[in-house]
Amino acid sequence: MNLGRRLSRLGRAPLPEWQELAWAGGTRSWLSPGLTRWLADNLYLLAVPYLGLVIALLTGQPAWALGFALVASVGEWAASRADSRLARVLDTAGLTPPLRAAGRALLVAGTVPAPGRFVAASLVVLLAWLGLLGLLAGFSRNLPPLRYAPGVDQQPEPLAGYLRCYRRALGTPGWVVAAEALALAGAYLVGQTFGLPLPFLAGLLALGVAAATARSFRGLLACARADADRLVAELAAADPRYLVHVSLGAEQSRYIVNQWLPVLDATGINGLLAVREASQLRPLRATRVPVVYAPSPRQLEQVTLPGVRVGFYLAFGEKNAHLLREPGLAHVMLLHGDSDKATSTNAQVTGFGEIWVAGQAGIDRYRAAGIDLPDERFVVIGRPQVEPLLGSRPEPGGRPVLLYAPTFEGYYAETAHSSLDTMGPGMIRRLLADFPQLQVWFKPHPASGVVRASMLAAIAEIEGLLAGGDHVIVDRNPELTLTDCLARADVLLSDVSSVVSDFLATGRPVIVTNPDGLTREDYRSAYPSQRGSYVVDPDLAGFDAAVADALGPDPLRDEREALVGYLLGTPHPQAAFDAALARLAQ
């Protein structure tokens, strides 16, 4: 796995909220998307012109310095047309684009014979750039709530207007490259008549762009109240009865919110999504439910319309309190999966009016954890996400498919159930060697590698093992959803995870890992949802036998079928969800 792909699996280094919003809205460039993505993933290659600048300084070669500086500036601009994890890491470390531009200017100034005007022009450009960044950051705190359209290239107004301003300061903007080129040309043509005005033109260009952008943004903010009123009127026309509060770790909407969108799209009751962090916007799939970016409590209050009766929550987070303080709402914790993990029995659940669970297993988990809530606080709705899987069958013909879908590493020891870096490569080798009739599909959890770097190495190793055959690396096929993968699989290989509960809807065999080496009795006691699964220990001693049983006689079939109702509740979960929502929405 190359450096760019390794970085792409790491947690997103934080950016200011306005920059996250700018990336969520996409960028515009005449460069091909493939080229900009390649440049963004390989930003480290820009170390070459910077090294050339240092060599030019040490050897006293001004022409080389000017050329390398221009190459570095253009490269920075091109790489800025796509979001880059490496650029985020550099920004977090303090090596922001303005600082890198200042470094280029200092190296050039040390080589050219008369650097006065070049330094002055570079300083004006840098100050205009920094001033614009500061203005946009300050202005962004006064935005109205904004409608966001997931899955499209062009955002609706007024969000599109704000994005046009943001793009003038995002990464290394084109106007900075143009101003820097004018200053470099002035340094190269120093002493020649037609070179004299170039540094002044560079400064004027930078000041002009900064002033025009600030004026545009101020004009947009002058309409903020009217824009907010217009959005509220548009939302009210649809008479939304519920609001989904989206506040999560960076980009977690990809697997937490998206799994609920088909359910919300299918219900006949209207609602809206209130997204609190801009990093959640871009991963969202297209939906009929209005998506509103409302980062501040004031904006959230504006879009919590009088007709809204239900507040849905998908995870536990600090910002949940901003909506929980609304006494007129029924506050419902949905969570985002059904599993025996400790995260499924968080004591914060006591602050919600109702807890909707898939089946009786969800209630029993809270009881076992000592969270003794009255029965009326729990509502069994099944798992609407898996309704398409109930009683489904794999496509006939072709090779049998084994899906390896390990869970994430966990943020603390109690939730560290993943087999990816401890057992994953070994199991894949066994499958390829001993079960060549299988087609292996590999889908690691999207958050794998956020905490443990060994996860990234394991992913790279497994992808290398599967390369060259007709196996499927799901991350390279973004059109495949988790439901698609579960529907296609004949056998699931996973960990303690909601993926196992969901796959039980198919009735097909499940193999689960026991990375902590618990005894069978302790394992089944701690994780009752795995009673119908074939368990594999850390040494892989029984792995081949488990796969053979799953592919052959499947002696645990009856036990799995007995678990389906206990874990997944009703066989008609969408109808149960609709009925529960209708009850509260009146």
Residue range(s) in the chain whose domain bears CATH number 3.40.50.2000: 388-568
Strands in 472-473's sheet, in edge-to-edge order, are: 472-473, 439-442, 401-405, 491-494, 510-513, 534-536
Token readout for 516 is 């902590």
Read off the pLDDT of each residue in 280-284 and give the average, rounded to a whole number: 95
- Are the C-beta atoms of 255 and 446 separated by less than 8 Å? yes
CA dist 191 and 278 (Å) reads 50
CA dist 398 and 4 (Å) reads 35
**In DSSP terms, which residues pair with 274 in a beta bridge?**
245, 292
Q: For 407, which DSSP code?
A: -
* Minimum mean pLDDT range among 27-31, 61-65, 85-89, 159-163: 27-31
CA dist 422 and 495 (Å) reads 12
Range 238-382: architecture per CATH? 3-Layer(aba) Sandwich (3.40)
* Minimum mean pLDDT range among 14-23, 340-349, 376-385, 480-489: 340-349
* Minimum mean pLDDT range among 214-218, 346-350, 455-459, 473-477: 346-350
Q: What is the pLDDT of residue 414?
A: 58
Burial of 10-45, coded b for 16+ CB within 10 Å and e otherwise, reads eebbebebbbbbbbbbbbebeeeeeebbebbbebee
CA dist 419 and 177 (Å) reads 48
What CATH number is given for 388-568 in this structure?
3.40.50.2000
- Are the C-beta atoms of 75 and 171 separated by less than 8 Å? no
- Per cent of the chain over pLDDT 90 is 68
How would you write 192-228 as a 3-class SS string? CHHHCCHHHHHHHHHHHHHHHHHHHHHHHHHCHHHHH
Residue with tokens 């070994």: 426
Residue range(s) in the chain whose domain bears CATH number 3.40.50.11820: 238-382
Q: What is the pLDDT of residue 412?
A: 57
* Minimum mean pLDDT range among 328-332, 338-342, 482-486: 338-342
Read off the pLDDT of each residue in 364-374 and give the average, rounded to a whole number: 88
CA dist 478 and 467 (Å) reads 17
More confident residue, 523 or 270: 270
Q: Is the pLDDT of residue 448 over 90?
A: no
Give the tens place of pLDDT for each residue, 200-247: 999 999 999 999 999 999 999 999 999 999 999 999 999 999 999 999
- Are the C-beta atoms of 442 and 471 separated by less than 8 Å? yes
Q: What is the mean pLDDT of the chain?
A: 90
The DSSP result for 274-332, as a single string, is: EE-SGGGTTTPPP-SS-EEE--SHHHHHHHS-TT--EEEESS--GGGHHHHT-TTSEEE
What stretches of 400-473 show up as alpha helix (H) in DSSP?
A: 424-434, 453-466
Q: Is the pLDDT of residue 183 over 90?
A: yes
Q: What is the pLDDT of residue 496?
A: 86
Read off the pLDDT of each residue in 128-150 and give the average, rounded to a whole number: 94
- Are the C-beta atoms of 298 and 144 separated by less than 8 Å? no
